[in-house]
């Protein structure tokens, strides 16, 4: 049903800090701002992939999921509605804002907004990174992955698998995390079980060179940006990465070398640790991500 993470949107009172952070640290291209003053970021030839809208508090505003076209969108809408969830049809203005041909949206059991769309606007050969770098890994794998914090693991698994159509990749019990895929990227969505709380932990951006990871880490250290986790190598998706606190409170995982999933021979495994080495939290690291009490 869902092909990939097409785009993601956040709200934040700190949009002014994003252009420099995105360009000089991440290497993203800062596009023209949106109609509401949103910072719009490019990581490939798509018109935009990441949106940071002005808002009173830091929050995940929406997750944008790509489907293959108008007929798959209708099928996806009917499937979600069959689970008892109300789906709203986006108008032409919303589609224009998201730079897609058509969009529909709904709210999940934990209060997150999901947008289903097709026809993401592309401008071939136009992506210009904010700093010299090899580029980002997107394509059929989409933007990257997101990790949420959810209060009910069983309910979350049921929603992701039965409603959204994701397949489980594996699990890491030491951090109460479950990982799910919808394309060859090892995981496009994951969650950690946090009783009584709901929130956004991190957005992962994968780059095409390990050197890009090292250069970004050097720049974070030079600018004294708060690292949530140092350089390390994950057990399950084999990503070599570090985590930096974004200007809007959630983490950016910046990595290279992620594992690809082949459903024909993939076996779901359980790991007792999230990392083979590294990913150490600094002593002064802030609490992870953006969290709020779950009212449900």
Whether the model clears a pTM of 0.75, i.e. scores above it, the answer is yes
Q: Give the residue from 26, 41, 50, 28 showing the smallest Cα distance to 217.
A: 26
Check if the beta carbon of residue 208 is closer than 8 Å to that of residue 134: yes
Residues of the chain with pLDDT under 50: none
Question: Mind listing the pLDDT tens digit for each residue in 266-286?
Answer: 999 999 999 999 999 998 887
Pair 191, 49 in one domain: no
Q: Which of 86, 118, 150 is the last residue of a domain?
A: 118
Check if the beta carbon of residue 230 is closer than 8 Å to that of residue 131: no
Pair 257, 145 in one domain: yes
Residue 232 phi/psi, 5° resolution? -165, 180
In terms of C-beta density within 10 A (0-12 exposed, 13-18 middle, 19 or more buried), how is residue 274 classed?
Answer: middle
Pair 150, 107 in one domain: no
Pair 272, 196 in one domain: yes
Joined together, the tokens standing for residue 257 give: 């070398």
Q: What is the DSSP string of 247-261?
A: TTSSEEEEEE---B-
Q: Which of 84, 118, 152 is the last residue of a domain?
A: 118
Pair 171, 284 in one domain: yes
Pair 103, 197 in one domain: no
Residues in Cβ contact with 196 at an 8 Å cutoff, skipping those fewer than 6 apart: 151, 293, 294
Q: Which pLDDT does position 286 carry in this prediction? A: 77
Pair 197, 100 in one domain: no
Question: What is the domain extent for residue 247?
Answer: 139-293
Q: Which pLDDT does position 277 carry in this prediction? A: 98
Residue 83 placed within a domain: yes
Total domain count for the chain? 2
Joined together, the tokens standing for residue 94 give: 């919303």
Residue 133 placed within a domain: no
Residue 254 placed within a domain: yes
Q: Which pLDDT does position 10 carry in this prediction? A: 98
Q: Give the residue from 221, 222, 224, 228 showing the smallest Cα distance to 244.
A: 228
Q: Which pLDDT does position 157 carry in this prediction? A: 97
Q: Which pLDDT does position 287 carry in this prediction? A: 79
Q: What is the CATH number of the domain that holds 30?
A: 3.10.180.10
Residue 131 placed within a domain: no
Pair 259, 216 in one domain: yes
Question: Mind listing the pLDDT tens digit for each residue in 121-150?
Answer: 999 999 999 999 999 999 999 999 999 999
Handedness of CA 267, 63, 53, 85 (dihedral sign): negative
Q: Which of 71, 89, 118 is the last residue of a domain?
A: 118
Pair 167, 80 in one domain: no
Residue 128 placed within a domain: no
Pair 267, 211 in one domain: yes
Pair 144, 107 in one domain: no
Residue 123 placed within a domain: no
Residue 134 placed within a domain: no
Residue 124 placed within a domain: no
Joined together, the tokens standing for residue 88 give: 């709203």
Pair 164, 90 in one domain: no
Check if the beta carbon of residue 19 is closer than 8 Å to that of residue 39: yes
Q: Which pLDDT does position 284 carry in this prediction? A: 85
């Amino acid at each position: 049903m869902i092909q990939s993470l097409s785009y993601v949107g956040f709200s934040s009172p700190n949009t002014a800090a994003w252009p420099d952070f995105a360009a000089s640290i991440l290497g993203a291209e800062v596009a023209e701002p949106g109609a509401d003053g949103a910072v719009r970021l490019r990581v490939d030839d798509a018109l935009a992939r990441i949106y940071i809208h002005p808002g009173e508090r830091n929050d995940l505003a929406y997750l944008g999921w790509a489907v293959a076209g108008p007929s798959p969108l209708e099928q996806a809408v009917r499937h979600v509605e069959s689970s008892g969830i109300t789906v709203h049809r986006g108008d032409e203005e919303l589609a224009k804002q998201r730079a897609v041909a058509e969009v529909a949206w709904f709210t999940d059991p934990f209060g997150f907004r999901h947008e289903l769309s097709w026809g993401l606007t592309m401008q071939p050969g136009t992506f210009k990174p904010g700093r010299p770098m090899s580029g980002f890994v997107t394509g059929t794998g989409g933007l990257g992955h997101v990790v949420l914090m959810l209060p009910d693991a069983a309910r979350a698994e049921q929603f992701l698998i039965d409603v959204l159509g994701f397949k489980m990749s594996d699990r890491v019990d030491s951090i109460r995390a479950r990982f799910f895929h919808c394309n060859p990227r090892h995981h496009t969505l994951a969650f950690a079980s946090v009783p009584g709380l709901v929130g956004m932990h991190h957005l992962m951006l994968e780059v095409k060179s390990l050197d890009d990871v090292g250069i970004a880490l050097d720049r974070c250290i030079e600018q004294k940006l708060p690292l949530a986790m140092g350089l390390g190598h994950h057990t399950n998706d084999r990503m070599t990465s570090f985590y930096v606190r974004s200007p809007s409170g959630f983490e950016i995982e910046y990595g290279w070398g992620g594992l690809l999933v082949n459903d024909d021979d993939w076996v779901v495994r359980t790991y007792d640790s999230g990392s083979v080495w590294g990913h150490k939290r600094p002593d002064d690291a802030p609490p992870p991500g953006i969290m709020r009490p779950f009212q449900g």
